[in-house]
Amino acid sequence: MARQPAKTLWYDRPRYVYLEFCVEDSRDVKVVIENERLVFSCKNADGVEFYNEINLYARVNSKDSREKRSDRSITCFMRKWKEKVAWPRITKENIKPAWLSVDFDNWRDWEGDEEVERAMLEEYAELLEKVTDKGPPPAMDDLDDEL
């Protein structure tokens, strides 16, 4: 029986890139994560062989990368060599194999997150400034007069 590529989903985060190989009831799982390449192979319950080889867009830290098997898939999380650098694609070549898709359920555009946080922090600082610029609190005697 010929081997075939597993349906694969991927998404990007500031420190890691995630790949999910969608194979239910996998066995004989082999994942080799190298600095610039990932090789995946396994069989499913029906004995179908799956094989994927990906030349990665950028370098990863293979020693700080792992995989996790579940009943439905095998997820690889690979530590980026250069953190906080967005990957526009997972493959080194500017091609999109039919078996590879972006995992839109987990995708998040995190590149602008720092700007949003900075804007919220500045807004909070301005709010604090307005609150503290109101002058001294009223004396207790003034409050007693109002009651």
8-113, CATH topology level = Immunoglobulin-like (2.60.40)
Q: In the predicted model, is pLDDT for residue 127 greater than 90?
A: no
Query: Which one, of 62, 51, 58, lies nearest residue 93 by Cα?
Result: 58
CA-to-CA distance for 63 and 146, rounded, in angstroms?
Answer: 70
Task: Dump strand ranges (E) for the chain.
Answer: 7-12, 16-22, 27-33, 37-43, 49-55, 60-69, 74-80, 100-102
Q: What is the mean pLDDT of residues 43-47?
A: 95
Output the six-digit token pair for 39.
């090789």
Confidence of residue 14 (pLDDT cuts 50, 70, 90): very high
- The domain ranges of the chain are 8-113
Please report which confidence band the pLDDT of residue 47 belongs to, taking 50, 70 and 90 as the band edges: very high
Place of tokens 């179908």: 48
**Bridge partners for 18 per DSSP:** 11, 77
pLDDT tier at 45, thresholds 50, 70, 90: very high
The pTM for the full model equals 0.74
